[in-house]
Amino acid sequence: MIFTQQLSAGQIFRIKKKLGDRIRVLDRNLLILEIFEKRSATKEAKLQVTLARLRYTFSWGRESVRMQGITSEQMGRGGPGQYPYKAYESASRKRISKIEGQLREIRSKKTHLREYRGKAGFRIVALTGYTQSGKTTLFNRLASESKETGMGPFTTLSTFARKVSTSSQRKTDNSFIIIDSIGFIEDLNPLLLNAFHTTLSELVNSDLILLFVDGSDKIEIVKRKVLSARKIMDKQLSGVPVLICVNKIDITTHEHLDKVLEEIRKIFDTEEILEVSSKTGANLPELLCKITEMLAMKVTQ
Ligand SMILES: Nc1nc2c(ncn2[C@@H]2O[C@H](COP(=O)(O)OP(=O)(O)OP(=O)(O)O)[C@@H](O)[C@H]2O)c(=O)[nH]1
Ligand SMILES: [Mg+2]
């Protein structure tokens, strides 16, 4: 049984008790964790998901004992073994700090790599946007890669960086590094968000952010998704120039696109907007020009 909202540990245990052992109970966050778990392909993503699950279920041992207490008169009479959750909590604490250490190590390697790229003069362009908006499809096209796309929410969990070389008539080197990253979703629980915070905060050092919007979504959905992107970006990626890419124009009409642009402009007032299709490649030459132009502007600023 899946609940679309977040449930408290107490609610989960009460529902489980009613339904019996054969039916699994998932709330919104546990479902997201399952999707994360299924998709995580890199060591970093796997560790992040395990950490998020450990933090999310940390209070469950205590809750489980408390719930049993509701039916058992034996509870609360003292004696060793009365609080098995203490062992559970201490084991969880140990695992959490071990994983945090492993993640610190992986991230420090990534930081070195970023510093190297910065020193080597590479400009960095990061792809962001709601999950399934078409970021990886563009990444694959620009970087001649074949990363997985379209497997449903959170197809991409780790960041990937590749060099993109653009040909220029002026024969100047306009290459840049493109970074693909995890997609946004609304109302992600802070415990889950924090697990992926570092993934997003890696992007704060970028020179330009391409914010992907699925232009084929219904207007109300565009509104909701763009608002949630705005919130996340204000919190974690503020200060980086943004180019909004309204994607999937191959499967939408001009009239619909006009409405999409109108909604986006209500939420992001000054940013640049381009209409593209990652799938067919429509307007990608214009996109590359715009990227080069915006990166050059940043240099002269
Ligand atoms: N018609 C159409 N479909 C597209 C376009 N771009 C992407 N798609 C499809 O949209 C789905 C999601 O694409 P992805 O590239 O995986 O999206 P993503 O933003 O990387 O998703 P996450 O990794 O989950 O954040 C896939 O089925 C793509 O084939 C486009 O321009 N037009
Ligand atoms: Mg992706």
pLDDT at residue 127 is higher than 60: yes
Q: Structure pTM?
A: 0.83
Ligand nearest to the CA of 140: 1
Q: Which of 142, 137, 152, 294 is CA-nearest to residue 212?
A: 137
CB of 284 within 6 A of ligand 1: the answer is no
Dig out the tokens for 52 from the structure. 């998020």
Predicted pLDDT at 78: 43
Neighbours of ion ligand 2 (CB under 5 A): 135-136, 155-156
Share of the chain above pLDDT 70, in %: 88
Assess if CATH 3.40.50.300 describes domain 122-300. yes
Between 196 and 153, name the one with better pLDDT.
153
Q: What pLDDT digit, counting tens, does each position of 158-169 carry?
A: 788 899 987 655
Predicted pLDDT at 290: 95
Residue to mutate, 35, 39, 133, 182, ligand 1, most ligand atoms under 8 Å from C-beta: 133
Q: What pLDDT digit, counting tens, does each position of 164-197 carry?
A: 987 655 556 789 999 998 888 887 787 777 766 6
Between 83 and 144, name the one with better pLDDT.
144
**Per-domain boundaries in the chain:** 9-98, 122-300
Average pLDDT on 93-106 reads: 93
Range name among 74-78, 92-96, 106-110, 209-213 with the lowest pLDDT average? 74-78
Looking from the CA of residue 282, the nearest atom of ligand 1 is 31
Q: Which residue has the tokens 């001649």?
A: 144
Inter-residue contact 209 to 237 (CB < 8 Å): yes
Residue of the nearest CA to atom 13 in ligand 1? 134
Backbone dihedral angles phi then psi of residue 183, each to the nearest 5 degrees: -80, 160
CB of 181 within 6 A of ligand 1: the answer is no
Predicted pLDDT at 75: 39
Rg, Å, the chain Cα set: 23
Dig out the tokens for 232 from the structure. 């996340």
Helix (H) and strand (E) counts in the chain: 10, 6
Q: What pLDDT digit, counting tens, does each position of 236-282 carry?
A: 888 899 999 999 999 999 999 999 999 999 999 866 899 999 999 99
CA distance 198 to 173: 30
Q: Which residue has the tokens 């191959």?
A: 250
Share of the chain above pLDDT 90, in %: 45
Average pLDDT on 75-100 reads: 73
CA distance 235 to 28: 22
CB of 277 within 6 A of ligand 1: the answer is yes
CB of 278 within 6 A of ligand 1: the answer is yes
Inter-residue contact 277 to 247 (CB < 8 Å): yes
Dig out the tokens for 258 from the structure. 């006009």
Q: Which residues pair with 163 in a beta bridge?
A: 177
